[in-house]
Structure 1
Amino acid sequence: MKYTRITALAAIGVAALSLTACGNEGSVKDSSSKGSSSSSSSSSDGGSKSEGGSGSGGSEADNTKSGSAGDTESRAGAANGATETTGKVAFCKTEDLAIDAADAAPDENSGRIDITMINRGSTTCSATGFAGVDIKDADNTSNPIERGQAQPRITTLKPGDAAVFNLAYDIDSSGDSLASPTNILVTPPNETHTVTLEWPAGAGEIKGAYTDVEVYPTHTTE
């Protein structure tokens, strides 16, 4: 009888131990599960922060790019706006210029013809550069004039403003000049239309040939 009771108690003890172990194992699993869940959650949070960081950085990069594009468009718009409002000054048209030639020799040896162009148009224009010049001789031949060694200056003309350029040459005082100029053919800078002016009365005789005459760039009269 005692033996049977001991056996029964032993069996009950084993069962209890078994239940306790199962309970502990469940606790361990639950704890592990919670830890894993917590770790996963923590990892997820860290990941989302990291993604959020890179996402934020990516977003800033996108914003920077879109900002740059916006800035570019803005600058382009501003540039277009500037072009529309102020714009590049168009070159003066021959038809808008009153052009005249006059003798302006500084002395007996140096010949100079001043050619003045007045803006008779309604808008500001540019006369910057070299005018095209030919001198017409009494024999009806036209001779192109070479450019002098000078750098063009910005020459902007408001309505009513004047620009001038010069023809320079040496005066022949011998009376044996072979040049007999009658007209000056002027094509304003960056234009294709030409005007014909009379050679100024009283201008000194040209020494040498027409190839010895030089034209200089325009400049304002101020």
Structure 2
Amino acid sequence: MKNTRIAALAALGLAASLSLTACNGDDTAADASSQGSSSSNSSSSSSSGSGSKTEGGSSEGGSEAGAGKSGSGQNSEAGTDAPDSGAKSGGGKVTFCKTADLAIDAQDAAPDENTGRIDITMINRGSKTCSATGFAGVDIKDEDHTSSPIERGQAQPRVTTLKPGDAAVFNLAYEIDNSGESLASPTHIQVTPPNETHTVDLKWPAGAGAIKGAYTDVQVFPTHTTK
């Protein structure tokens, strides 16, 4: 009987111990779960904050780039004003002379028997001042109906501004062939004024000396005023 009670008390104690251990285990698991959840939330919050900073930096960088482009555009607009300013400071509204406004003539102006020179004069018959600065385009037509372009001589163009009634002149220069065996038989001079596209045909001046060599030996010089 005594042994039975001792056995019953022992069983009771063992059951109580097991119950207490089970309770402690659940509490520990709950604590661990709570800590894990807190850690996860903290990590998620940290990650979210980091991403937000990155986007903000990118946005700010884009804004600065946009401002830079805007500034560049303003510089570009200022640059487009430069040609207009230059045009005003360079003489205002003076335009190049038009072929239709020029009376053009060719004359023999040889200074001696060995040096050939033809003066081509252009008179401004228009109502406005114009510029004839530069080299005229010149071709010489031969009696065989061919034409040859004339090369430019070594000279710097001079500013040639013509008021109504003013004249400009340019020269063709070559060496005269006195042998009587010249192979060149020029009939016309085709003249295109500087910075123009319309051409006029002038007769080769009567009495002009024969060209020595070929038409490639003739040179054209830039315009200048007669004053």
* Structure 1 and Structure 2 fold alike (TM over 0.5): yes
Secondary structure of the 2:119 match is strand
Equivalence map 1:1-222=2 (5 Å): 11-54=15-58, 59=62, 63=66, 67=69, 71=72, 75=76, 78-79=79-80, 82=83, 86=87, 92-117=97-122, 120=126, 122=128, 128-134=134-140, 144=147, 146-148=149-151, 150=153, 158=161, 160=163, 164-171=169-176, 184-189=189-194, 190-194=196-200, 196=202, 199=205, 204-207=208-211, 211=215, 214-220=218-224
What TM-score results when the alignment is normalised by the length of structure 1? 0.59
Amino acid at match of 1:171: I
Aligned residue pairs total 213
> Is the 8 Å Cα contact of residues 133 and 215 (structure 1) preserved in structure 2?
no
Write out per-residue CA displacement over residues 28-70 of structure 1, whole angstroms, 9 at most, x where no aligned residue.
Answer: 211111111111111222233344445555x369738x928x8
- Range with greater deviation from structure 2 (32-41 or 18-27): 18-27
3-state SS, counterpart of residue 192 of structure 1: coil
The superposition leaves residues 59-117 of structure 1 with CA deviations (integer Å, 9 ceiling, x where unpaired) of: 369738x928x847974895488479849x97642023343445543444212123244
Moved more, 120-129 or 165-174: 120-129
Length-normalised TM-score, structure 2: 0.59
Q: CA shift at 1:165, angstroms?
A: 2.8
Residue identity matched to 2:99: T
Seen in structure 2, the aligned counterparts of structure 1 residues 113 and 23 have a Cα distance that, compared at 3 Å, is: same
Larger Rg: 2
Matched-pair contact (CA < 8 Å) for 1:169–1:206:
no
Residue 191 of structure 2 aligns to a residue whose secondary structure is strand
How has the CA–CA distance of structure 1 residues 149 and 50 changed in structure 2, closer, same or farther, with 3 Å as cutoff? same
C-alpha separation between the residues in 2 aligned to 1:39 and 1:174?
107
Aligned residues of 1:136 and 1:143 also touching (Cα < 8 A): yes
Structure 2 unmatched ranges of 5 or more: 89-93
**Amino acid aligned to 1:63:** G
What SS does structure 2 have at the residue aligned with 1:218?
A: coil
Q: Provide the rounded CA distance (Å) in 2 between the counterparts of 1:123 and 1:9.
A: 128
Quote the residue 2:91 is aligned against.
none
Distance change >3 Å, CA 35–CA 121, structure 1 → 2: farther
Q: Give me the CA root mean square deviation.
A: 5.2
SS in 2 for 1:45: helix
Identity of aligned residues (%): 35
Structure 1, unmatched stretches of 5+, are none
Shift of residue 188 of structure 1?
2.2
Alpha-carbon separation, structure 2, partners of 1:5 and 1:126 = 133
